Structure 1
Amino acid sequence: MTTAVAAPFRFFALQVVRTGRLGPSLVRVTFAGPDLDAFHSHGRDQSLSLFLPHPGQAEPVVPLELGDNWWQGWRELPDDVRAVMRSYTLRALRRDALGQTAEIDIDFALHGVGPGAATPAGPASRWASRAAAGDRVLLLGPALADNRAIRFRPPADTDLVVLCGDETAVPAATAILESLPAGSRVRAWLEVPHAGDAQDVRTRADAEITWLVRRGATGRPGTPATTTVVDAVRAAGLTDAERPYVWLAGESGQVKAVRRYFVAECGVDRRRVTFVGYWRRGMTEEQLRTAG
């Protein structure tokens, strides 16, 4: 498989090295590839595009031979041939002794996987739940460390970082927490389907992390928690911050509601609020991309 450059992003041909469950709803997949030394990122909530093969395919089908026109060529392929494209965030990268990138981790939220699932699993969840060493994927990722697909950018005068999200935002939120320096004050609210999805996060920051678990949840993202993120944040008050920076990610409807609370009720300057809808209830990523 060849690679193509679309600066500041490029394609990387990768293979699965190993997988590991992080909880009932989360699995970590570790990838490696011969040209990952060209992969560069400052981390945090670095966004990536992952291309996955359909069952029976040895590798994902993306017409890289078309160069800059790969997108149009990919869109024109038959549905059962065209590689499945999904957006994820970089969980971690590790470099070898020579400073080259040896491995990257991507954490997948599994929806509709396992006994009792209320909704059928999508193609990415099915792939991640069955991924094995040697499986091939294609990744569109950063060739420049500081790129526009990193959205977490707190102003220099920030005196409190606030993080809110559901399980689809957990990989980015935990990567952000690990990146923050000592002395940073952080309050985080992360909503997950099961208690076993909560993670121990290593951070140098002065961080208070609250895990909200959906009682009676089906495992589908956005299922109402016993205490919603908005309720939890409102109960906390957050009256001791003069210059907060707020990062919100997850289901679009919930993200908008939390943003409305911070801007309209708390008076936070909207320029100090970063919000990203990773998914929308009732819509696939293909439908979202078409609607957008």
Structure 2
Amino acid sequence: MRMELPVSLITVTAVQRLTPGMARVTFRADTLPESVGATPDQQVKLCFARAGQERPLLPDPAANGDSMRWYQAFLAIPEDARPVMRSYTIRARRDDRVDIDFVLHGDAGPATRWASSAEPGDVIGMVGPSADYARPLGEADLLLLVGDETALPAIGTIVESLPAHARAVAYIEVTDKSEEQRFDTRADVTLHYLHRGDVSPGKSRALVDAVRRAELPAGSVFAWLAGESGTVRALRRLLVAERGMDKGSIDFSGYWRLKLTQDDAPTEEDIAEAQERLAQAQAEGGGTAWT
């Protein structure tokens, strides 16, 4: 099946520091697909130029026809010239502008280094969103949201999209109170922020302990989990084995891996997780929770 892949060059128009550890970067695009920002929890691939390049070197999507051929052309670019690609969430869209929030981890990686010094006029690439990776929420009486600060942008889009009759509870791990955010929503939403303090990201047990102790109301629950891969797997095992949830009622995504980057080869657990998520998505065949 032929599937065209949206590929855009986007230009920084503004940078805002939301908290000490998170920056919101606003971009303008000359052409922006209608699908961008149309749904919550929408991921795209951002492409950052290599040192010495003013903008990332990207294949022409029209010349390659579909997503697989485009990605093969992308991989054919010599490694020292090939853009660094990372996954991010569309936080909001306003006409030809998009907001993307970046967690700032010091000098931990190329995307963080870029965001820490971004200024108006800087250009990066955006690939997607792809309809193949749309992740609708399941139907339930309660939506349980669990994640670390890397999940905050997606949690924000989900909470802000909920209708008035929806009910949600979120457990979010951040460094301290200065990293907490608030969201405008019509729904009945309770936010529980957990402070890990000096514990390194990915090594805290705060989320697992909080979900184990959580008093969930009677009725059906759909869980959305995101953050460090090992923590997400532990949360999912807990919900299934200890809280009795069906695997089909859990959407889960490992955004990052402790001691590994997206450039490192996937582990056996990463591969198994990706295969299970794909099989689950194919079995569900779409739908949305809060209509």
TM-score bracket relative to the smaller structure: 0.7 to 0.9
In the alignment, which residue of structure 2 is the partner of 1:98?
none
Q: Kindly tell me the number of residue pairs found equivalent between the two proteins.
A: 264
Question: Is residue 21 of structure 1 aligned with residue 17 of structure 2?
Answer: yes
SS at match of 1:139: strand
The verdict on how the C-alpha distance between 1:260 and 1:19 changes in structure 2, with shifts beyond 3 A counting, is same
Does the 8 Å contact 2:37/2:92 carry over to 1?
Answer: no
In the alignment, which residue of structure 1 is the partner of 2:278?
none
In the alignment, which residue of structure 2 is the partner of 1:58?
54
Find runs of 4+ consecutive structure 1 residues off by over 6 angstroms. none
In the alignment, which residue of structure 1 is the partner of 2:237?
260
In the alignment, which residue of structure 1 is the partner of 2:208?
230
In the alignment, which residue of structure 2 is the partner of 1:106?
100
Letter of the aligned partner of 1:153 in structure 2? L
Cα displacement (A) at 1:141: 1.9
In the alignment, which residue of structure 1 is the partner of 2:128?
141
SS at match of 2:8: strand
In the alignment, which residue of structure 1 is the partner of 2:257?
280
Identity of paired residues, percent? 42
In the alignment, which residue of structure 1 is the partner of 2:287?
none
Distance 1:173 1:60 in 2: 29
The verdict on how the C-alpha distance between 1:174 and 1:288 changes in structure 2, with shifts beyond 3 A counting, is farther
| More helix, by proportion | 2
Cα displacement (A) at 1:8: 5.7
Does the 8 Å contact 1:37/1:102 carry over to 2?
Answer: no
Does the 8 Å contact 1:60/1:83 carry over to 2?
Answer: yes
SS at match of 1:266: coil
Aligned-residue CA RMSD (Å): 2.0
Letter of the aligned partner of 1:21 in structure 2? R
Distance 2:161 2:257 in 1: 28
TM-score, length-scaled by structure 2: 0.84
Distance 1:193 1:288 in 2: 28
Does the 8 Å contact 2:36/2:93 carry over to 1?
Answer: no
Letter of the aligned partner of 1:105 in structure 2? D
SS at match of 1:237: coil
Question: Is residue 151 of structure 1 aligned with residue 135 of structure 2?
Answer: yes
Cα displacement (A) at 1:269: 1.3
- The unaligned stretches of length 5 or more in structure 2 are 272-291
In the alignment, which residue of structure 2 is the partner of 1:123?
110
Does the 8 Å contact 1:43/1:91 carry over to 2?
Answer: no
Cα displacement (A) at 1:41: 4.0
Distance 1:34 1:154 in 2: 35
Cα displacement (A) at 1:78: 3.0
Does the 8 Å contact 1:43/1:92 carry over to 2?
Answer: no
- The unaligned stretches of length 5 or more in structure 1 are 1-5, 95-100, 114-119
Question: Is residue 201 of structure 1 aligned with residue 198 of structure 2?
Answer: no
Cα displacement (A) at 1:290: 8.5
Letter of the aligned partner of 2:82 in structure 1? R
The verdict on how the C-alpha distance between 1:22 and 1:36 changes in structure 2, with shifts beyond 3 A counting, is same
In the alignment, which residue of structure 2 is the partner of 1:251?
228
Letter of the aligned partner of 1:123 in structure 2? P
In the alignment, which residue of structure 2 is the partner of 1:83?
83
In the alignment, which residue of structure 1 is the partner of 2:280?
none
Distance 1:216 1:186 in 2: 29
